[in-house]
Amino acid sequence: MTIISLSPLDLSLAALLILALAFLSWRMHLGLGSGLLIAGARTVIQLLLIGLVLEALFRNVDLGWIALLSLVMLSVAGREIMARQKKRFAGWWGYGVGTLSMFVSSFTVTVLALVVVIGTEPWYQPQYAIPLLGMLLGNTMNGIALGLDRLTSSAWTQFRVIEARLMLGHSGAQAIEDIRRESIRTGLINIMNAMAAAGIVSLPGMMTGQILSGTPPIEAVKYQILIMFLIAGGTGFGTLVAVWLGARRLFDERERLRLDRLKSG
């Protein structure tokens, strides 16, 4: 099957949709026009840049450069997690909780998939490693951000309930247990919905891309199933680690609730 190449004119025609949406936002006073244009420009610039970087990596496979790109992706994702929270931890913890959780979950799951499941040679083949890690980081980032935001916001608004439980002799973990549980559920809702709707309501992005590039549909389906399971595992374990670390940070060594460790996003 021949791949149909897209010209700059084709992409410009698609960009008219963003311009039209920004114009409607301006006319309706939604306040989203400039944000849409900036997001569209960032999409073009960032994807073109990563395309050039990946082309260079594909020509010269080197573990050091792949590791460097992976750390850059992790660092940016960690910043996005911090920026999406209304209440976040002050100081290093505001950035470190989400970043560390993504590193533990996404990198572990990606290496597991490359070494055990796919079995590429070498195992860090950028054609597989970078797209897999990117999909895992993107989805894990969303789950962790939602989970941490629910944790800190709920602790802020329900501090009297938590303190009442502490006065009754509960430990910090017991006092915040229901909030922690709901925070984890919140972080997992998106990936659960995506798995439930895959193939019926929507065709996932990776599968669609492979089919458009000429991959047999059944082969594309198998890769998409693998990706969905990897994303679910990465998101689940990442959210668990992040919420657990965040819940511990909300209490000091004397089991006192420390809302002064939070600040507005």
* pLDDT tens per residue across span 123-135: 888 888 888 898 8
Per-residue pLDDT averaged across 242-263, rounded?
89
CA atoms within 13 A on the CB side of 210: 17
Identify each DSSP E strand in the chain by its residue range: 87-89, 262-264
pLDDT score of 181 more than 90: yes
Q: Kindly report, residue by residue over 5-42, the tens digit of the pLDDT.
A: 778 888 889 999 999 998 998 888 888 888 889 999 99
Residues 6+ apart with CB under 8 A from 8: none
Residue 16 DSSP SS3: helix
Q: Kindly report, residue by residue over 81-113, the tens digit of the pLDDT.
A: 888 888 888 888 889 999 999 999 999 999 999
Interatomic CA distance for residues 27 and 164, integer angstroms: 50
Residue 4 DSSP SS3: coil
Judged by average pLDDT, the poorest of 11-15, 123-127, 154-158, 209-213 is 209-213
Find the helix or strand (DSSP H, E) in which 138 lies: helix 126-157
**pLDDT score at 1:** 56
Interatomic CA distance for residues 131 and 35, integer angstroms: 27
Interatomic CA distance for residues 147 and 239, integer angstroms: 6
Query: How many other C-beta atoms can be found within 10 angstroms of the C-beta atom of residue 111?
Result: 15
Question: Does the reported pTM lie above 0.85?
Answer: no
**Pick from 183, 150, 168, 184: nearest CA to 255:** 168
